[in-house]
Amino acid sequence: MKLLEPQRSSTLEPAQLETAIEHLYAHVPFCPTICPYCDFHVLERRGTLVSDYLREFKRDAAQLELLYPRNPLKTLYIGGGTPSFLRDAEMTALVSTIRQHFGWASEATLEVNPGTVSPSRVALWRDLGFTRASLGVQSTQDQVLKFLGRTHDAKQALSAIDALLEAGFEVSADLITAVPGQDLDRDLETIGRTGINHVSCYTLTIEAGTPFHRAGVTVREEDEALALERAEPALNGFGLERYEVSNHARKGFESRHNTAYWQNRFYYGLGAGAAGHYPIKSAITSPLDVIAQRRTNPHLHEWLLGQRGDLEPVTREDFVTDALFNGLRLKRGIDIASVSARAGLDAREHFAAAFQTCADKGWLEWDGDVVRATRAGMWVLNKVVMEFMAE
C-alpha cells in the first residue's frame, strides 16, 4: 500500500503509541523431507548448513537486541520447518542464544513432528524450558498421511501426544482438512478423545509451485467451507471452542503467541525467512505518518551471507487495516477504540464508509466498540479488508 499523508482530523496523540516488543518468533527451516503441499521456506539439512545457521542465528539475535529496547518476553514460538528435527546439542545452542539476548517466556512453544519424538528428546525440550508443543498430526488416518507425504503414521502421532502430555507439555494438534479421501469426522473424533486442550484445523491449500500444484491436485471451495463448519460442533463436543477461524481450545488454553499476531502486536522475527513486526524508535511520527515497520528475512543462503530484509514502513492506515485483517479472524472480534489508541488514528471515524458498507453486506457487526465478523464475513475476510484498503 502506498504511504499516505495523515488525516489530522482523526489523529490521536502520538504519546499513546505502543513500543514494547514482547513476543519472538524463530524460524528453523530444516525438514527431514519436504511435504508436497508446503510452500514455506524449508530445505533438507546438508553438509554444514545447520551449524552455519546456528552461527548466523546468534549474529541475527545480537543485531536485533541492539536495535530495540529489551522487554520481558510474554511468548516465544520456534517454528519451521521442523525445529524438533534439530539434534540435542543444536537445540540447546539455539535456546541458549535466545535466552542470552532476549530471555525466555512463560509460553514457549516448539513445533514438533511426530516422527522426531522420543522420551529423551521430550525430556530435553522440557528441561530447556519449552512449555507447549504444536504437533503436526495432520491426520489420524494412514492413507491420508501417505497422500500428504508425511513420514509418520497415525500410531506415531497418537503416541507422540501421549509422550508430550506425560512430560507436562500443553499440546496443540494441527489437522489438515478437506483432503481427498479423508474421513474428517473420524479425525476430529480421534483427536478430541486424546484430551488435548488445543486443536488447529487448516484446510488443504494448493499453493503455486508446490508438487501438489504441479500434479493438478485441487480442493473444492465447498469442501473447504464444509470442513471448517463441521470442525466446530465436533470439537465443541470435547470442550474445545472455536476462538479463531481455524483454532479451537478449552477456555484458558488459547495460543497466546498466535493471539499476539491476531491482535497485531509487535514481535521479533529471527532466522532465515522469518518475519518481524517492529515499532518505530520514537513516538514522534515522520511526515509520512509511519508508526511501525515490518521486515522479512531472505531465504537461508542469502541470510547466511548476512543479508536481512528491508524495513518496510507501516502507516497509521496500514496499521489499522493490518489489525482488521488479523483481528477479524478472532471470534470475539476487535476493540476498535483500543486499535485507534495504538494507531494514533480514530479508525471508526476514518473508515466510517468501509465499516458501513461491510455492515450493510452482512459481513460485520458491532457490539459497542467491538466489531466482529459475522459467520458470512468469516469466509470473505479478504473482501472485507479490501473495502478498507480501497478508501
pLDDT digits (tens, 9 = 90+) for 306-330: 999 999 999 999 999 999 999 999 9
The confidence score (pLDDT) of residue 166 equals 97
211 in the same domain as 141: yes
Residue 306's CATH number: 1.10.10.920
Residues 316 and 205 in one domain: no
Q: Which three cell numbers stand for residue 363?
A: 459481513
pLDDT tier at 381 (50, 70, 90 boundaries)? confident
Residues 112 and 165 in one domain: yes
Residues 138 and 29 in one domain: yes
Q: Please give the distance of CA 384 from its chain centroid, rounded to a whole number.
A: 20
10-19, 330-339, 369-378: the lowest-pLDDT one: 10-19
Residues 185 and 331 in one domain: no
Residue 2 has pLDDT above 70, yes or no: no
pLDDT tens-digit profile of 166-189? Answer: 999 999 999 999 998 899 999 999
Strands 170-177 and 132-138 come out as: parallel
Predicted confidence (pLDDT) per residue in 327-349, tens digit: 999 999 999 999 999 999 999 99
Residue 13 falls within a domain, yes or no?
Answer: no
Lowest mean pLDDT among 8-12, 45-49, 113-117: 8-12
User: What pLDDT, on the 0 to 100 scale, is given for residue 11?
Assistant: 53
pLDDT at residue number 9: 40
Examine the domain organization and report whether 310 and 253 are in the same domain.
no
Distance between CA atoms of residues 85 and 53, nearest Å = 14
Nearest-angstrom CA–CA distance, 349 and 138: 43
Under the banding of pLDDT at 50, 70 and 90, the label for residue 17 is low
- 269 prior amide bond cis, ω within 30: no
Does 267 fall in a domain? no
Mean pLDDT for 111-132 is 97
How many domains, in total, are found in the chain?
Answer: 2
Q: The C-alpha cell of 154 is what?
A: 497415525
Domain housing 184: 20-259
Give the per-residue pLDDT at 15.
40
Note the pLDDT of residue 287.
54
Task: Give the CATH number, domain containing residue 170.
Answer: 3.20.20.70
Residue 273 lies in a domain: no
Phi-psi region of 333 (alpha: psi -120 to 50; beta: other; left: phi over 0): left
What is the C-alpha to C-alpha distance for residues 330 and 371, in angstroms, rounded to an integer?
A: 10
| Contact criterion met (CB below 8 Å) for 314 and 323 | no
Single residue among 259, 294, 315 that ends a domain in this structure:
259
